[in-house]
Amino acid sequence: MLTHQSFLLTGPAHGRPFEADATYRADGRAKPVLLFVHGFKGFKDWGHFPLLADFFAERGFVFVKLNLSHNGLVVGGTGDLEDLEAFGRNNFSIELDDIGQVIDVLFTPGATPVPAAEMNLSRFFLAGHSRGGGLVLLKAAEDPRVRALATWAAIAEVHPQWPQAMFDEWQRTGVLHVPNTRTGQQLPLHYQLVEDYQTNRARLDIAHNVRRHLRQPLLIIHGDEDETVNVAAAHALHRLRPDAEMLLLPGVTHMFGGAHPWPLAELPAPARQMAEATAAFFERQV
């Protein structure tokens, strides 16, 4: 039987609580730890993500996933996007700090419900989907505790290549709205997102950090029919790190066959293929 444990954190800079959870087989043996980061408009329990947690736990990992603090979810809320003001105040620096906070508590004995004896933190890995893939690239580049990482349909840059007129209008109004086609919501993005990028350009430049600072083994997985993040992003990342392993899945789209809600008890076939390749990659890391 698998163990599922949740724990709460509060960002020291913004004071907002956010939730993480761990899934593992409690057998008293130290297991590699994999922290998963969701993408834009995503959350830790979206669609088939809980099944991913079970898959990796069955493979002998402690699988940890988090809700980034400003992803629009509320602790104890509906379990879906509902705090649109928090969503609008999000930025990449906040997200990187959230990830860093989860890493810190995992490396602090007794700070999470997971017993230290269950975790082999010398084999600590990151995986991220879509925007979360870009985040784990940046986090691994600045945190040597990460021993290897995998990206799933990852972005290759955080700066949207929009026309300057759109940025000018965004700055003038202070807010840009993007649709959530799944829920019909208009999600706000405050202009501080751009200001954060400009202020922290060195930290948030994926190309620079992957080329100059990322030293850990890297696996890049992408569907060649990704309708959201074109497969060109995978090729761009591979050019930055030619020694990375890359797996392109034919006929696979952005969510690897998943949807929210996910009604089945099994992973979608493309997600399972992605998970099996990722588990095998991490198992090879000594």
Structure-block tokens of residue 118: 């269950």
Give the total number of structural domains in the chain. 1
Q: Would you say residue 257 lies in a domain?
A: yes
Q: Would you say residue 196 lies in a domain?
A: no
Q: For residue range 12-70, what is the model confidence (pLDDT) as tens digits?
A: 999 999 999 999 999 999 999 999 999 999 999 999 999 999 999 999 999 999 999 99
Which pLDDT score, from 0 to 100, does residue 286 have? 84
Mean pLDDT of the chain: 97
Region 93-98 average pLDDT:
98
The lowest-confidence range among 76-80, 132-136, 159-163, 172-176 is 159-163
Q: Would you say residue 179 lies in a domain?
A: no
Which pLDDT score, from 0 to 100, does residue 224 have? 98
Instruction: Quote the pTM value.
Output: 0.98
Region 227-231 average pLDDT:
98
Residue 152: pLDDT band by 50, 70, 90 thresholds?
very high
Domain that holds residue 92: 3-159+201-283
Which pLDDT score, from 0 to 100, does residue 160 have? 86
Q: For residue range 230-274, what is the model confidence (pLDDT) as tens digits?
A: 999 999 999 999 999 999 999 999 999 999 999 999 999 999 999
Q: Would you say residue 175 lies in a domain?
A: no
User: Does residue 143 surpass a pLDDT of 90?
Assistant: yes
Q: Would you say residue 180 lies in a domain?
A: no
Q: Would you say residue 136 lies in a domain?
A: yes
Q: Would you say residue 87 lies in a domain?
A: yes
Q: What CATH number did the domain enclosing 126 receive?
A: 3.40.50.1820
Q: Would you say residue 186 lies in a domain?
A: no
